[in-house]
Amino acid sequence: EVQLLESGGGLVQPGGSLRLSCTASGFIFNSFAMNWVRQAPGKGLEWVSGISASGNRTYYADVVKGRFTISRDNSRQTLYIQMNSLRAEDTALYYCAKGWEVYGMDVWGQGTTVTVSS
Amino acid sequence: SYEVTQSPSVSVSPGQTARITCSGDALPNQYAYWYQQKPGQAPVLIIYKDSQRPSGIPERFSGSTSGTTVTLTISAVLAEDEADYYCQSADRGGTYWVFGGGTKLTVL
């Protein structure tokens, strides 16, 4: 079964850092791009960052560029996002999603919650 | 950055056809994708590359494109189709992904 399992969420103070992980199973991880997508409480989906299958190309939404860093370890079938200088507006449920057919995302995890508050 | 725009809500009665549109300048050049999200659940991909359906998605879901607008059509709507629907695409350079703001489909 194809699965994505996020972890690493929690409560962090403004200005703090957090690293999220997403462990994949059931598919050839190093063959697919991966993405992070977030959803603030009661709001819509927001693409955060993407990374190519090999990890040599990374992409970021303007609102996180310079603060977040996406990476992957294909040997561990794990996707990461390092989040620094966190702000209250980064509070959201963070999903990892498997890339599909150019820009799509066909498999989603259940998400991990990040709360930025003092 | 780049944006795609959806209408916030659509309401239809069971058995009718629902149409949800999404507009963006790069849509003539980039594929569109559609996702369904029900409360408390992760999104589900229902249309990819403008009009393709993943396996397991009912035929009543279809996608089309015309210029800068893409459309998700749900034929013979069922009560279970009540959900939020999001379009997604990328900018002309293919380096910036974007979701629309979402459309809430209400089945009356």
- Which parts of chain A have pLDDT scores under 50? none
Nearest CB partner across the interface for A104, out of B33, B94, B102: B33
Nearest CB partner across the interface for A46, out of B30, B54, B99: B99
What pLDDT, in 10s, does the model give residues A11-34?
Answer: 999 999 999 999 999 999 999 999
Mean pLDDT, all residues of chain B: 96
pLDDT over 90 for what percent of chain B?
96
Q: Collect all residues of chain A within an 8 Å Cβ-Cβ radius of residue B54.
A: 106
Cα of B85 to nearest chain A Cα, Å: 10
pLDDT at position B1 over 90? no
Per-residue model confidence (pLDDT) at position B11: 97
Q: Collect all residues of chain B within an 8 Å Cβ-Cβ radius of residue A35.
A: 97
Determine, for residues A45 and B35 on separate chains, whether the beta-carbon distance falls below 8 Å. Answer: yes
Q: What is the mean pLDDT of residues B32-45?
A: 98
Mean pLDDT, all residues of chain A: 97
pLDDT at position B105 over 90? yes
Per-residue model confidence (pLDDT) at position B76: 97
What pLDDT, in 10s, does the model give residues B52-67?
Answer: 999 999 999 999 999 9
Per-residue model confidence (pLDDT) at position B23: 97
Strands (E), chain B: 5-6, 9-12, 18-23, 33-37, 44-47, 61-66, 69-74, 83-90, 97-99, 103-107
Nearest CB partner across the interface for B89, out of A95, A103, A111: A103
pLDDT at position B36 over 90? yes
Determine, for residues B49 and A104 on separate chains, whether the beta-carbon distance falls below 8 Å. Answer: yes
d(CA B102, CA B41): 15
Per-residue model confidence (pLDDT) at position B38: 98
